Amino acid sequence: MLGRRPKVREVGLVPEYLRFAPDGVAHERVLELALDELEAIRLIDLLGLDQQGAASRMGVARSTVASIYDRARKKVADFLVNGGELVVGGGNVRLRPGMDARDGSWALEKGERTMRIAVTYEDGKVFQHFGRTEQFKVYEVEGGKVTSSRVLGSNGVGHGALAGLLSEGGVDLLVCGGIGGGAQAALARAGIEVYPGQEGDADAAVDAYLSGRLVKLESATCDHHDHEHGHGCGSHEGDCGGHDREGGCCH
């Protein structure tokens, strides 16, 4: 009897760098890190998700992610300790819908009269954790009206680099759920206005901003000690919008 075909794993990033070797020299000993293995490391070690959260993103069972993650870390450890060449690629994967395959989309030229609005985005709604968002919906606005929109990946960067990504992408204004004070300061230094504490439909939030109805909730800052007070992470219950809180939530 033939075995079952492994379920396709969804990944949120096709990496820019696919080959690693000490001093950049090719070696006879080659270790292959599949794209789903890299994704497990990215979600858990870089973005701080737990295994259940990573499993949900990849569209597989938690036990499957646990196996993938364990295998991936052993390969990386082997490479770092014993040397050789690490090659990234392969695996039964597909790019998660709406994610950016590093095609340069963030570098789209911006018109002189264009305003660019970015919204932390997931399944049509404002995603509640700025520091963990995997995608933004980016709107081009001219004359007070949306002329186009597109969904772009965060390219796997964490909260510390997201302000730079948005700045390089020509973003003028960010709409998001919970966001840390440090991230808000970095965005302010980049000249990006922030409307935190938003919930619900992303398109509706942008329409509300353009019509002057969107309220800037300054109390929506998400810090380690904020969950018991005020608006918290964009949720009236202070529970980060129902998402997990590992790793300090939205920073």
Residue ranges of domains in the chain: 9-95, 105-248
**Cβ 96 vs Cβ 89: under 8 Å:** no
User: What pLDDT is attached to residue 157?
Assistant: 61
Closest CA to 127 of 235, 9, 223: 235
End-to-end CA distance of the chain: 50
Question: 105-248: CATH homologous superfamily?
Answer: Dinitrogenase iron-molybdenum cofactor biosynthesis domain (3.30.420.130)
Predicted confidence (pLDDT) per residue in 34-75, tens digit: 989 999 998 888 878 889 888 888 889 999 999 999 999 999
Residues of the chain with pLDDT under 50: 1, 98, 100-104, 223-251
User: What pLDDT is attached to residue 77?
Assistant: 95
User: What pLDDT is attached to residue 5?
Assistant: 56
User: Any idea which residue has 């709107």 for tokens?
Assistant: 139
User: What pLDDT is attached to residue 88?
Assistant: 87
Return d(Cα 32, Cα 19) in angstroms, integer.
9
Q: Which CATH architecture has domain 9-95?
A: Orthogonal Bundle (1.10)
User: What pLDDT is attached to residue 239?
Assistant: 38
User: What pLDDT is attached to residue 24?
Assistant: 59
Three-state SS string over 20-87 comes to ECHHHCCCCCEEEECHHHHHHHHHHHHCCCCHHHHHHHHCCCHHHHHHHHHHHHHHHHHHHHHCCEEE
User: What pLDDT is attached to residue 248?
Assistant: 39
